């Protein structure tokens, strides 16, 4: 399992729970599940508990310094996207964006072990790329092949449309935007590429070794095993201290819930209706403005 940072940031004991954006109805079209989802679905009460715990986590994130906060967003986005692309593309195109995003996620893991490797600006850039990936994806496509075709055809147009509101006041240069675009569009991705160019650090050799050795939990595991692990880990996490809960937030709550959605179409839709609210809340935090002009990515 990915190791959380050893140090726990100080958080305020009295922080306001951020308001969630209005719920957006989602229409999801996915392949039929191979196995029944009934035994793996959370009950309504459990889903409500996740909502409460997530709101608490958002409140704690709000109290963190901007560097920690931004890197948390980057880690969340990369986990979410790597798992999402694994679901859609691994069987059809094993070297699709999943490989690139997995390398980026490993870099975030390395950052946790080494200290400040990825700068605040670079972390924002990584998070932005990962989020743009999702908005460029056709989540309603009937097959992975259709999704990929739609993604490649409309990718360039969507990227140019979405990049401006995601600039977040950092005034990314044309070169940086071009680099983001090359990461975003499948036709421009280089197989086995990584994000090593994003970091300039004196311990580059050490970083490379850590990235090489980083263990991404659950990669290649069967869906049944992942479902079991996700459910058990959530039950363990919800009884822990909220700060520890925050530390496992990206790996154990949102990221692995994406795997759980494979269990069945009904549960897939229910999870994404909830995740959409969380997703839009993160978008609002990144842009500092309500994402009223953004389409429902699901």
pLDDT tens digit string along 179-211? 555 544 333 333 333 333 333 322 333 323 333
Most confident by average pLDDT, 30-44, 150-164, 277-291: 150-164
What percent of the chain shows pLDDT beyond 90? 0
pLDDT of residue 176: 62
pLDDT for residue 175 is more than 60: yes
The band of 51, judged by pLDDT with boundaries at 50, 70 and 90, is low
Q: Is the torsion defined by CA of 235, 238, 243, 246 positive or negative?
A: positive
pLDDT of residue 143: 46
Residue 3: HSE in the Cβ half-sphere, 13 Å Cα cutoff: 12
- Over residues 290-295, mean pLDDT: 35
Identify which has the larger pLDDT, 59 or 249. 59
pLDDT of residue 264: 34
- Tokens describing residue 50: 């996740």
Return the ∠ at Cα 12 (arms to 11 and 15), rounded to 5°: 120
pLDDT for residue 289 is more than 50: no
Q: Which of 24-38, 98-112, 200-214 has the lowest mean pLDDT?
A: 200-214
pLDDT of residue 116: 40
Mean pLDDT for the chain?
41
Identify which has the larger pLDDT, 33 or 121. 121
The band of 2, judged by pLDDT with boundaries at 50, 70 and 90, is very low
What percent of the chain shows pLDDT beyond 70? 0
CA distances from 160 to 164, 174, 178 (A): 7, 12, 10
The band of 172, judged by pLDDT with boundaries at 50, 70 and 90, is low
pLDDT of residue 55: 54
pLDDT of residue 274: 46
Q: Nearest CA to 41 among 261, 278, 276?
A: 261
CA distances from 36 to 41, 214, 265 (A): 10, 33, 10
- Residue spans per domain, the chain: 44-287
Identify which has the larger pLDDT, 297 or 85. 85
Return the ∠ at Cα 55 (arms to 170 and 168), rounded to 5°: 10
- Tokens describing residue 101: 């995003």
pLDDT of residue 15: 31
Q: Nearest CA to 293 among 178, 164, 150?
A: 164
Q: Nearest CA to 99 among 159, 189, 204, 187?
A: 189
Q: Which of 15-29, 65-79, 223-237, 251-265 has the lowest mean pLDDT?
A: 15-29
Spatial separation of the C-alpha atoms in residues 64 and 171, rounded to whole Å:
24
């Amino acid at each position: 399992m990915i190791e959380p940072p050893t140090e726990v940031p100080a958080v305020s004991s009295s922080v306001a729970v951020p308001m969630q954006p209005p719920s957006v109805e989602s229409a999801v079209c996915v392949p039929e599940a191979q196995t029944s989802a009934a035994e793996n679905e959370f009950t309504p009460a459990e889903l409500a508990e996740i909502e409460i715990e997530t709101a608490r986590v958002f409140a704690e994130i709000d109290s963190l310094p901007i560097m920690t906060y931004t890197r948390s967003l980057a880690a969340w986005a990369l986990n979410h996207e790597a798992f999402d692309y694994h679901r859609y593309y691994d069987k059809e195109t094993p070297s699709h964006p999943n490989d690139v995003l997995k390398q980026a996620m490993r870099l975030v893991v390395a950052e946790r072990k080494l200290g400040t490797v990825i700068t605040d600006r670079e972390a924002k850039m990584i998070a932005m790329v990962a989020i743009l990936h999702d908005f460029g994806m056709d989540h309603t496509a009937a097959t992975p092949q259709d999704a990929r075709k739609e993604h490649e055809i409309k990718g360039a147009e969507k990227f140019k449309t979405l990049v401006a509101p995601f600039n977040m006041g950092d005034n990314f240069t044309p070169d940086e935007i071009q680099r983001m675009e090359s990461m975003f569009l499948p036709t421009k991705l280089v197989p086995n590429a990584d994000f090593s160019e994003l970091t300039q650090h004196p311990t580059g050799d050490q970083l490379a070794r850590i990235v090489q050795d980083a263990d991404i939990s659950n990669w290649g595991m069967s869906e049944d095993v992942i479902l079991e692990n996700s459910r058990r880990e959530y039950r363990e996490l919800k009884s822990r201290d909220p700060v520890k809960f925050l530390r496992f937030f990206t790996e154990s709550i949102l990221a692995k819930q994406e795997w759980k959605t494979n269990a069945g179409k009904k549960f897939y839709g229910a999870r994404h209706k909830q995740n959409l609210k969380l997703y839009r809340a993160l978008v609002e935090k990144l842009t500092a403005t309500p994402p009223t002009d953004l389409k429902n990515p699901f």
